Chain A
Amino acid sequence: MNLKKKATTGSNKNKKHRKIVSCQLKTRLRTDNRQPTTHMELKDKLIASFMAFEEQVDVNADLHDVRTLAIKNFEEKGFPTKKEEAWKYTSLNTILKNDFSVFPKHENAIEFADVKKYFLHEIDTYKVVFIDGVFSSFLSSTTHDGIDVCLMSSALNKPKYKMVIDTYFNKIASKDESLTSLNTAFASEGAYINIPKSKVTDKPIEIMYFSTGSEAALLVQPRNLIIVGENSHVQIIERHQSLNENAVLTNSVTEIFAQKRTIVDFYKIQNDNHFASLIDNTYVSQQQESHVHVNTFSFGGNLTRNNLNFYHFGERIESHLNGITIIGEKQHVDHYTLVHHAKPNCESFQDYKGIFSDNATGVFNGKIYVEKEAQKTNAFQKSNNILLSDKATINAKPQLEIFADDVKCSHGCTIGQLDETAMFYMQSRGIPKKEAKALLMYAFSNAVIESIRIPELKQRITKIIANKLGVKIGFDL
């Protein structure tokens, strides 16, 4: 092992009775003496803009009802604060002090050459691209040929999509969680992907959100809907990228419906600059025998919160949640996951690797919920972390709630430093300290990198990691 285990939480097997396990590992608690402020200003502004917003967009009666309920929920709950258990380690206070524009005033254009590097340009892909929340047909490459890769705004407004929208829109997303409700209330644009039965998508789909910084501070709320028909396969890459040093807050909601026997690979690349924050709310609905992989690569951004929720509606489902987090300075990444096992014979695997330097803080909160009916569940959860500085922090909190009596569930968290013996071994072979460190960290996250099933993306991620670690070494031969 590369890691000296400082602490390991136990594993729980074959639960006989209901048991709630919750444990915490802390190496250092952040002292946060700031008084919680009420975010009346932004909240009021949002509620006030709601009516104006609804007048702007064409709305049918059903959508109007959905939105009204959502804004009501947001009005009641407001922005989450650290007083809530789910937000104990992540504070939005500082970010919410920005005077965010809720609707961008300008239409902005970007040259492809300037943003080419953010795309997986080595291969052909479908592209749905937004600039400051507005669709860019110039940068996009959408399709209606056999599959729908297009815009949420068309899907929400055109009658031919009404049945699909009625069936799926806001059906798996939480109606209770305030930030999701805020997004629902204002949902108007994003990617709409509908893959019919028995289709293997011929190339990956890239969903890209750019912000140009034309506003001093911008709040964007993308809304993606992804429906994958029976037996179909799809690979999707999502990225949010700010091109300027003005503040951006993205509150994104993605709903994914994986029908029977589908295979969905979803990759989230979070490598934004220090002025951009992201709250990603992703909800996955899985039918019988579907396999869904969500891989989250968090290498950048100011504050990133990933709310990733999986719900099972059939048997023999597989859910894979993988993550690599490599951050430094004062960056903050919070992974908040839920896998809801509701049917028998399903499996879920969570594998999160984190490397934290400087004053960076990380959170991993993973909840596994196993209903009484969900016998023969296999649910595994791992959170392995390396702290490279005395001031870096990780808070890891597995939560298992198990109501079935014949299940295998386990969780394990490790927090450690780089192994000195391994460092000496590598140095004694001529590999300098910095490179040895990089190689060890790459090795540490290797299991997750190996799970990337698009070779060009794998190369890209490897390159980002090498850059992040400040070395110029190839990691494979």
Chain B
Amino acid sequence: MLSIKNLHASVEDKEILKGINLEVKAGEVHAIMGPNGSGKSTLSAVIAGNENYEVTAGEVFLDGEDLSDLAPEERAHKGVFLSFQYPVEIPGVSVTNFMRTAINETRKANGKEEMPANEMLKLIREKSELLEIDRKFLSRSLNEGFSGGEKKRNEIFQMAMLEPKLAILDETDSGLDIDALRIVANGVNKLKSDKNAVIVITHYQRLLDYIVPDFVHVLYNGRIVKSGGKELAYELEEKGYDWIKQEQEA
């Protein structure tokens, strides 16, 4: 489904990604771990099409299609979803209104009619129950005054609404207490199918107890330096990242 080949990206002339190769197939869950500053968030931003990063070499393919020249919204229309590490507050736009616009624009781009209001409301109700979101919450301004946990839950709620092919969860576990973590992970697991894929970006192994990965990759200094099964995550949890650094520098 997702195929990343020799991806190099920089921001303000500083090279952050130095040749990433990654293959993700439908039905798989991949975890990308690594110390701070290794390029995890850059990778997710580049896949989602953030124009602040310049891709200097390499390609990203989704189902065989090169995403390089596509705007963020076009990537979204094709099924890419990024759950933000720091969701943006947008005062004056309600969660419901935001979702309605996002869904209808996506449908429009895919040649479909707008979703009728009653259907939309039904979908919103269904998905908000899945994420245990209070309905009052949906009429509030997007992320404005939300707690850290509410923001992350709202990200996964949006994911549930948009039903992406490829979901990238960027540090979704940061700032979550154990209950919120369980709700979020439960949401993600219920949305998993053999037709979609999830990339979990995280610093800690904690989230991976709930969203169990098929593959774990270690990102260090802009490259994937180690890949393995879920046991790699436990190894990292136990030993920290220092041994990776030492291995690389040796």
Interface residues of A (CB under 8 A from B): 1-2, 419-422, 424-433, 435-436, 439-440, 442-447, 473-477
Binary per-residue interface labels of chain B (61-78) against chain A in the complex, 1 for a CB within 8 Å, 0 otherwise = 000000000011101110
Contacting pair B49 A425 (CB below 8 A): no
Which residue from chain A places its CB closest to the CB of B79 in the assembled complex? A430
- B224 CB to nearest chain A CB (Å): 23
Chain B residues lying within 8 Å of A446, measured Cβ to Cβ, are 91-93
Q: B100: which A residues are within 8 A, CB to CB?
A: 474, 477
- Across the interface, B105 reaches (CB within 8 A) one of A420, A432, A440, A447, namely A432
User: A420: which B residues are within 8 A, CB to CB?
Assistant: 52
Tell me how far the C-beta of A423 lies from the nearest C-beta in chain B, rounded to whole angstroms. 9
Assembled-state Cα–Cα distance A476/B117 (Å):
11
State which of B88, B103, B120, B162 has its C-beta within 8 Å of the C-beta of A425.
B88
Contact with A along B95-119 (1 / 0, CB 8 A): 0111011110110010000000100
| Contacts known (A422-B90, A439-B101, A443-B91); A430 close to B96, Cβ less than 8 A | no
Q: From B117, which residue of chain A is reached at the shortest CB distance?
A: A477
Kindly identify which residue among A424, A427, A477 contacts B97, using a CB–CB cutoff of 8 Å: A477
Q: Report the separation of the CA atoms of residues A447 and B48 in the bound assembly, to the nearest whole angstrom.
A: 32
Residues of B within 8 A of A474 (CB): 100
Give residues 32-87 of B contacting A (CB, 8 Å). Answer: 48-52, 71-73, 75-77, 80-82, 84, 87
Q: In the complex, are the beta carbons of A431 and B91 less than 8 A apart?
A: no
For residue A127, give the distance in angstroms from its CB to the closest CB of chain B.
33
Q: Are A473 and B88 in contact (CB under 8 A)?
A: no
Chain B CB count within 10 A is highest, among A430, A431, A445, A473, for A430
Q: How far is the CB of B88 from chain A (nearest CB, A)?
A: 4
Check if B128 is an interface residue, CB within 8 A of chain A.
no
Q: Can you list 18 A-B contacts (CB < 8 A)?
A: A419-B88, A420-B52, A421-B88, A425-B88, A426-B98, A426-B102, A427-B73, A427-B76, A429-B158, A430-B76, A435-B105, A439-B90, A442-B92, A445-B92, A447-B92, A473-B101, A477-B117, A477-B120
Task: Among A425, A430, A431, A439, point to the contact of B87 (Cβ < 8 A).
Answer: A425
- The CB with the most chain A CB atoms within 10 A, among B48, B93, B96, B100, is that of B93
**B231 CB-CB contact with A under 8 Å:** no
- Roughly how many angstroms separate A421 CA and B90 CA in the complex, as a whole number? 10
| Interface SS, A side | helix
How far apart are the CA atoms of A425 and B158 in the complex, in Å? 12
Cβ A439 vs Cβ B162 within 8 A: no
6 nearest A-B pairs in the assembled complex, by CB-CB distance: A443-B92, A446-B92, A430-B76, A427-B72, A430-B106, A429-B102
B residues near A443, Cβ cutoff 8 Å: 90-93, 141
**Chain B minimum-CB-distance residue to A427:** B72
Q: Are A431 and B90 in contact (CB under 8 A)?
A: no
Residues on the B chain within 8 Å of A439, using CB? 90, 93, 98, 101
A435 to B109, CA, bound (A): 13
A474 to B103, CA, bound (A): 13
**With a CB–CB cut-off of 8 A, which chain A residues contact B103?**
430
Are A428 and B87 in contact (CB-based, < 8 A)? no
Contact between chains at B97 and A430 (CB < 8 Å): no
Of listed A428, A474, A476, residue having the most chain B CB within 10 A: A428
In contact, A2 and B91 (Cβ under 8 angstroms): yes
In the bound complex, how far is the Cα of B185 from the Cα of A351, in angstroms? Answer: 43
- Interface 1/0 per residue, B148-160 and A, CB below 8 Å: 0000000000100
Give the chain B neighbours of A429 by CB distance below 8 A: 73, 76, 81, 98, 102, 158, 162
CB distance from B134 to the nearest CB of A (A): 17
Q: Which residues of A contact B158 (CB under 8 A)?
A: 429
Say which residue of B49, B90, B117, B162 sits within 8 Å of A2 (CB atoms): B90
Interface-central residue, A429, A442, A446, A473, by most chain B CB under 10 Å: A429
Contact (Cβ within 8 A) B93 A430:
no
Write the nearest CB–CB distance from B108 to chain A, whole angstroms: 9
Contacts A420-B52, A431-B73, A476-B97: A444 and B92 contacting too (C-beta < 8 A)? yes
Contact between chains at A428 and B72 (CB < 8 Å): yes
* Given A428-B48, A443-B91, A443-B93, also A435-B84 (CB < 8 A): no
